Amino acid sequence: MRHFLSLLDFSTDELLALVARARELKSLRGTAAHPRPLSGQSVAVIFEKPSTRTRVSFEVAIHELGGQPLILSKNDTQLSRGEPAEDTARVLGRYVHQIVARTYAHETLEKLARFSGRPVTNALSDRSHPCQILADLMTVQERFGPLEGLKLAWVGDGNNMAYSFIEAAMRLPFDLALACPEGYRPDEALLDRAKREGARVTLTTVPAEAAKGARVVMTDVFASMGQESEAARRREAFRGFTVDQALLGEADPRAIVLHCLPAHRGEEISAEVLEGPQSAVFDQAENRLHTQKAVLELLQREA
């Protein structure tokens, strides 16, 4: 049984094949040749946290693959009243063919995977956000072709997005330069492992250093979902980490800017950059649809 809880669940070849397949599915969208591998199947999509892109892109992806999406928001299930994930998983496994879930604790995803007997996809946890990174890599490939030798800069919080980018760098041949403030560094154990395994990952506290010569400049909110009470303290700690025109000036002149959205203009990114000609954020958001179709299709095939 394959799951997609982490980018490390797939090999280098599989990740590249997923992105290639997503590009193919993008070109087939709306044609009679678009596949319907989920025909007659149902997929539960569980949300412990809010979502716009993930919710809608999964719902549309499942529908266009011929399946029935069941969107289960925070208060729709007994999970919100304390039913153990182990029980929920075993029950859902009797009804649906795949499960997609956005959770606080990453362990909840692991329980869903262990107990449901169905393929489970991580639609974001406090630890990681692999679906987003697949769409980001597709966007980079669409603009620049093969990833070999490209420098990608991550400026901001060492959060779930940064975690998944480090995992991506462990599988794919790009350089990842992270700039995070002291106290907001990415997971040390993962970083050490990535370096031991030869991933080209560097970490600095100086945003301009990470952005220098980068082909892609990426950021995300300073306070993630669940960290709302830390927002003021984080705004202070992240002073100087805004992706603005001056920082973008350090990057390669051909650089694109990525942000998984939702964005806070004037905090982690300036309005000028987000709305500017180098911003690829809406292509990036669209590509969630295509990459998730490729994931659902692969998990269905290998279930």
Contacts with ligand CP by CB under 6 A lie at 51-54, 124, 132, 260-261
Per CB under 6 A, which region of 13-21, 83-91, 100-108, 153-161 contacts ligand NVA? 153-161
> Which among ligand CP, ligand NVA, none contacts residue 160 (Cβ within 5 to 8 A by kind)?
ligand NVA
- Kindly calculate the radius of gyration of the chain based on its CA atoms and give it in whole angstroms: 19
DSSP per-residue codes, 122-147: ES--SS--HHHHHHHHHHHHHHHSS-
Residue burial 1-38, b: 16+ Cβ < 10 Å; e: rest? ebbbbbbbbbeeeebbebbebbbebbeeeeeeeeeeeb
| Out of 113, 137, 161, 166, the residue judged to bind ligand NVA by CB under 6 A | 161
Residues 252-291 that bind ligand NVA (CB under 6 A): 260
Site string for ligand NVA, 96-125 (x = CB under 6 A): ----------------------------x-
> Which among ligand NVA, ligand CP, none contacts residue 208 (Cβ within 5 to 8 A by kind)?
none
Residue 219 near ligand NVA by CB under 6 A: no
Angle at 279 between CA 277 and CA 285, to 5 degrees: 135
Residue 221 near ligand NVA by CB under 6 A: yes
Active site residue 53: no
| Out of 64, 167, 175, 220, the residue judged to bind ligand NVA by CB under 6 A | 220
- Classify burial at 151, counting beta carbons within 10 Å of its beta carbon; exposed 0-12, middle 13-18, buried 19 or more: buried
How far apart (Å, rounded) are the C-alpha atoms in residues 187 and 161?
A: 11
Which residue from 78, 77, 69 is spatially nearest to 45, judged by alpha carbons?
69
Active site residue 233: no
Residues forming the site for ligand NVA (CB under 6 A) = 124, 159-161, 220-221, 224-225, 260
